[in-house]
Amino acid sequence: MAESPEEVAVLVQRVVKDINNAFKRNPHIDEIGLIPCPEARYNRSPIVLVENKLGVESWCIKFLLPYVHNKLLHYKQRKQWLNKEELIDITCTLLLLNPDFTTAWNVRKELILSGTINPVKDLHLGKLALTKFPKSPETWIHRRWVLQQLIQENSLPTLVTKGNLEMAPTERIQRLVKEEMDVCCEAAGRYPSNYNAWSHRIWALQHLAKLSTKILLDELSSTKHWVSMHVSDHSGFHYRQFLLKSLIGRTVTDCTVQMHNQLNNQLAPSLPKAEENDEAEAACVEEQRPDHPFLLKEEVELCTDLINSYPGHETLWCHRRHVFYLQHHLKNKLILPSTWALAADSSDGTLNNTHSGGALGHVTQAMDIDGLTESSKQGYTQEIKRLKRAPLQDSVGLEAEYRFIDQVLSTCRDVEQARFAGAYRKWLGSFLGQ
């Protein structure tokens, strides 16, 4: 066992070199982990590579992590010089063991900007770090920075063609979006209520997919099974709420653009070619326009099935409230909150219910189990006042909700389930002003 500083330095240098050689031997490593091993039993490397899995024996961490940490700090303090290859190896080793060390990621940013590191390698490094530390906020932040660099430098073709894939630009973007969705899904499965992973997923939809209707619908379909297997994960259901709101807001935007184009055509004569383009654009918008009532109806059916199958989960009841809120806006033909469109263009992409504007504040009020508080009443807008004065046009849906509540209360044996059902009934009354 190494004890003196010289012996520790020799040991750590060997381990760092072994990690670097492991990536050279197998560039398709897809997972890292620690192997419980209190002490070195054999005179061999603590780095174990089996198929595509990289393991590090735990006994060497107490020597490896402090050494590479201090060495990088000395470099930043200009107390020690390291060449580019040494910086790459040290930061790689350090981030695999401690991905929340911001200084290491900043050094990697400098290496990317200088052209020393291919940005794709940092995406792969971050993906590996997330297999061990799926909630690491610094890793997600750096990942978004790398993707932004690729977008700004118009390097999306370079990113995808590394595997000799010749695809059209649209297919390249779809492939990149799918890769990010897969990374987020894996991280969300490794850590419950992984806020950072779901926030990154929203960011990817906003900045990479540009809230494409097709991708939004695909995501709504693909996450249905995931939330069914994680009924207490509020972040996953909040993501589905974001998808539904984005689909509604996206369609409203498309309709506005279409009406604007039609108005321009009426005011000014257009060339035949321009008319053909307008017709093609209108057909495209019509083809991608989703059936909102059907989507919301399916979401209610999903909530009903999950609530009956898994009683006593508050997340499911909160999600049902939000879906009813969306249904109420559609059936009463109310103008959708303007902040939904702003949320679609938001740069932070976080799962935050406290966006600017009053409309999303109504969602927060709607999610209050005990009804509206005094402070909430002060935040009423003219829209909510009109909503309470307006005749109820979705009485059929309301009756169905009350029947569902009665059915739950008459059959459930779970105390929490009964409490959530009663709270939902109270919320319906306070929200609709009955």
Query: Residues 163-203: pLDDT tens digits?
Result: 444 455 567 677 889 999 999 999 999 999 999 999 999 99
Position 78 scores a pLDDT of 86
Tokens of 143: 């990942």
- Please state the rounded mean pLDDT for residues 303-316: 96
Is residue 307 pLDDT above 50, yes or no?
yes
* Cα dist from 369 to 152, 320, 327, 366, 387, whole Å: 45, 12, 19, 8, 20
Would you call 299 exposed, middle or buried from its count of C-beta atoms within 10 A (0-12, 13-18, 19+)? buried
Q: What is the pLDDT of residues 7-26, one digit of tens each?
A: 888 989 999 999 999 999 99
CB 323 within 8 A of CB 299: yes
Residue 210 DSSP SS3: coil
Position 351 scores a pLDDT of 57
Position 5 scores a pLDDT of 83
Cβ neighbours for 58, distance < 8 A, ≥ 6 positions apart: 34, 35, 36, 37, 38
DSSP letters for 128-154: HHHHH-TT-HHHHHHHHHHHHHHHHTT
What is the model's pTM?
0.79
Tokens of 346: 């938001």
Would you call 86 exposed, middle or buried from its count of C-beta atoms within 10 A (0-12, 13-18, 19+)? middle
**β-strand partners of 35:** 57
CB 290 within 8 A of CB 213: yes
d(Cα 12, Cα 25) in Å, to the nearest integer? 20
Residue 57 DSSP SS3: strand
CB 82 within 8 A of CB 68: no
Cα angle for residues 147, 28, 210 (degrees, 5° grid): 25
Q: Which amino acid is at 17?
A: K
d(Cα 104, Cα 122) in Å, to the nearest integer? 12
Q: What is the pLDDT of residues 99-131, one digit of tens each?
A: 999 999 999 999 999 999 999 999 999 999 999
CB 226 within 8 A of CB 250: no
